[in-house]
Amino acid sequence: MKRRDFLQQTGFGLAMIGASGLVLRSDARPTPRSLDALEAETLFSEISGVNLDDKTNLKPTVSRDIGPFYRSGAPFRAKLTLPFEPGSVLVVTGRIWSFETKKPLPNAALDLWQVDNQTADYSAGNGDFKNRARLVTDESGAFEFETVHPIPYTPGANFWRSPHIHFIATAAKHKRLVSELFFKGDAKQDIDRLFHPSLAVAVEKKKINGKDYETAVFDIVLEAEK
Ligand SMILES: [Fe+2]
């Protein structure tokens, strides 16, 4: 059966004729493309009052070893944990910046992994990507993710890791950065030889709907590829 016959016999033809009566207005214009970096930056500054040019004190983010627990292929999502994961809910926001241009980097990628809050284990990462996620920065280089505050763990005798979230940050024309995010005042930082104070951010305690949660702001600065 030809498509035309099918439409006529099934009554879809009438619907199609109705739909075909819809034509684009002659004065219609293409839907605006998404914001490019400069436009977005301007828009963001106007909306938030934040002056993105005032970043002359940016320093490249310190790197850390990748460690044995990275697994590729984590899902793209802004929440690392499963629903109702035990632990203190933590929302981390920030921007990824270019050290050379002092501008935020849209479409930069973050790959995150951390231990859970009870056994301090990393998920297997082969189908089970609990406490792992990837995400992409928005037009103004900003990201936000939710997780639970990680706990300390001991990888071996006389060695403690203070709470941290591992990450890999990548952006076009910039060097890949592997590092870790820490939180000021957490346990074991004095004996964690991988701790670095420049990677530690303050945690603010907040309350929503009668429940406590934490927020932290962490900016990442990438160096351009030479
Ligand atoms: Fe770790």
Please give the distance, rounded to the nearest whole angstrom, from the Cα atom of residue 5 to the centre of ligand 1. Answer: 65
Closest to 134 (Cα-Cα) out of 126, 143, 142, 121: 143
Domains and CATH numbers, the chain: 38-222 (2.60.130.10)
Q: Who contacts 149 (Cβ-Cβ below 8 Å, separation ≥6)?
A: 87, 88, 90, 117, 163, 183, 203, 214
What pLDDT was estimated at residue 10?
47
What pLDDT was estimated at residue 13?
46
Q: Summarize pLDDT for 154-209 with one digit per residue, the tens.
A: 988 889 999 999 999 999 999 999 999 999 999 999 999 999 999 999 999 999 99
Please give the distance, rounded to the nearest whole angstrom, from the Cα atom of residue 14 to the centre of ligand 1. Answer: 63
Please give the distance, rounded to the nearest whole angstrom, from the Cα atom of residue 10 to the centre of ligand 1. Answer: 62
The answer to whether the predicted template modeling score (pTM) of the entire model surpasses 0.85 is no
Please give the distance, rounded to the nearest whole angstrom, from the Cα atom of residue 20 to the centre of ligand 1. Answer: 59
Please give the distance, rounded to the nearest whole angstrom, from the Cα atom of residue 156 to the centre of ligand 1. Answer: 12
Please give the distance, rounded to the nearest whole angstrom, from the Cα atom of residue 117 to the centre of ligand 1. Answer: 13
Contact 131, 121 (CB under 8 A): no
Please give the distance, rounded to the nearest whole angstrom, from the Cα atom of residue 213 to the centre of ligand 1. Answer: 22
Please give the distance, rounded to the nearest whole angstrom, from the Cα atom of residue 96 to the centre of ligand 1. Answer: 21
Please give the distance, rounded to the nearest whole angstrom, from the Cα atom of residue 162 to the centre of ligand 1. Answer: 9
Question: What does DSSP assign to residue 205?
Answer: E
Tokens representing 137?
């920065």
Please give the distance, rounded to the nearest whole angstrom, from the Cα atom of residue 153 to the centre of ligand 1. Answer: 8
d(CA 90, CA 211): 12
What pLDDT was estimated at residue 31?
72
Give the chain's residues under pLDDT 50. Answer: 6-7, 10-15, 17, 47, 49
d(CA 66, CA 166): 8
Please give the distance, rounded to the nearest whole angstrom, from the Cα atom of residue 200 to the centre of ligand 1. Answer: 15
Helix axes 12-20, 3-10, angle to 10 degrees: 100
